[in-house]
Amino acid sequence: CVFNSVMVGATHALGARVRGGTKRPNAKHTHAHATVGGAQPFPVAPPTAARAPPAVPQPSAAPTSTAAPAAPAAPVAQDAQAAPAAPATAGKSMVRPLPSVPAMPLASKSSAPSGPSPPVSIERVAVVDFDVHHGDGSEEIVRTLSRTLPPHRLLLISIHLFDPGDAHVSAFYPNSGGSDFMLDNVVNVPIAPIWRRSTAAKDKHARSNSGTSSGAASIPGVISGVNEGSGISTGANSGAAAPASRHAWGPGRLEWRAAFGQRVVPALRAFSPELMLVSSGFDGGATDIGNSKLDASGKCLQGLDLTPGDFEWATGQLMAVAARCCPGRVVSVLEGGYGTWEFSKKSETGWDISRETLSENAAAHMSALAGIGPRAS
């Protein structure tokens, strides 16, 4: 029985090769071999014309021989062609397996997070306030906390208008921030208002005649500087009753940029914060209500004339420091910004507030935060 099975399988396979286009092997030189149960191969005679393999239905196959095919010795099932050639492989399927696809690695229970990630430890926090008004509330908080915290934990830098006032113009709110409190890590950068431009020009002339120079005087457009010992306080005084022309930088946007680059950026970089909080006030923009005042005669005076380009530039300076010290850890919080008075026929008073310039200043700041610039001039 084993021999007959081997003969049928070998004959069937050989016949399939002939029908598929393969030449019939020469019987004088070729012998088929089969192995039974791992024994040595023994010769199997090739099929003859009188004993052709059973025909298998083909779609368009024609008979390969004109002789009448002899009846098969035994009935063969239709799936005999897929039968194995030897009992040793009888349990294997003849269907070609699909190529294996590497499975995606699954996270083990040990590697999966068991809960919320631990909080990031922040040691040094810097607060930068460029609102047109002094950050007196932030200063009070930082100075209070600095008495109990290590000296490297908090830093406050506030750049703002400062004018203690006189008989013609009252003090600019909140009339503080005229000097630093270095022992408490408080850096104040006071800017003289534009309505003091004539006073600042006279002060510059007096400095030139006396030979006194300041760090800001070498920059085009800079009138006066704050790099003098009298502008630095150890905390014993209030820092609010100093003449504007002595402690404040000169008026205008060029002075503001010079002060930002020479005072704000170096102090911030030296502190090397791990988190930067920005008090973003846009009331220093040109014609904004927040930096205007009325003099004794009722005339409206303008204190600062920053453009969207100035806010974008300043924000870019902060982001450059953050890229070195605290990448991705910058939080900007909206502070001041009120809009501009404009004539309106719809208003009962004839005046209305336009926030178009305010929105442009804020958009410039956001553009620099997102790294999309430059968009303003």
State yes or no: pLDDT of 184 exceeds 80: yes
Give CA torsion, residues 310, 313, 315, 318, to 10 deg. Answer: -130
Closest CA to 189 of 220, 146, 160: 160
Q: Nearest 5 degrees, angle CA 205-CA 210-CA 211?
A: 100
pLDDT-derived band at 136, boundaries 50, 70, 90 = very high
State yes or no: pLDDT of 17 exceeds 70: no
Helical ranges in 211-307 per DSSP H: 244-247, 253-259, 265-271
Task: Name residues whose C-beta falls within 8 Å of residue 70's C-beta, 6 or more positions apart in sequence.
Answer: 50, 51, 52
pLDDT-derived band at 198, boundaries 50, 70, 90 = confident
State yes or no: pLDDT of 61 exceeds 60: no
Domains and CATH numbers, the chain: 122-198+248-376 (3.40.800.20)
CA-atom Rg of the chain in angstroms: 46
Beta bridge partner(s), residue 161: 191
Q: pTM to 2 decimals?
A: 0.60
